[in-house]
């Protein structure tokens, strides 16, 4: 009979990087909750982070004092 592996017996080790990685899931939207919320806000005419705000741009282009 062969003895069972002892406490100090050398074990073969293959780093995880040597294994083939599983393909990542193909999500259409990387953040589905944020994308859904942003879509709803855009349809309602609200400001959305990361999207230029047309109303703010219009207000900042107007002269400070009326002529």
Q: Do residues 48 and 58 lie in contact, with contact meaning Cβ atoms separated by under 8 Å? A: no
What one-character DSSP code corresponds to residue 23?
P
- Average pLDDT over the chain reads 78
The model's pLDDT over 3-30, given as tens digits with 9 standing for 90+, comes to 565 677 776 776 666 666 666 666 666 7
What one-character DSSP code corresponds to residue 16?
G
- Is residue 66's pLDDT more than 70? yes
Sequence-distant (≥ 6) Cβ neighbours of residue 35 within 8 angstroms: 29
- Is residue 44's pLDDT more than 90? yes
Q: Do residues 25 and 31 lie in contact, with contact meaning Cβ atoms separated by under 8 Å? A: no
Which stretches of 1-67 are DSSP H helices? 32-43, 54-61
pLDDT-derived band at 60, boundaries 50, 70, 90: very high
In the chain, count H helices and then E strands. Answer: 2, 0
Instruction: Tell me the pTM.
Output: 0.44
């Amino acid at each position: 009979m062969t003895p069972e592996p002892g406490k100090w017996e050398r074990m073969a080790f293959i780093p995880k990087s040597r294994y083939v990685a599983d393909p990542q899931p193909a999500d259409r939207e990387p953040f589905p909750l944020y994308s859904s919320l942003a879509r709803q806000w855009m349809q309602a005419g609200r400001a959305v982070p990361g999207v230029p705000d047309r109303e703010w741009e219009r207000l900042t282009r107007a002269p400070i004092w009326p002529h």
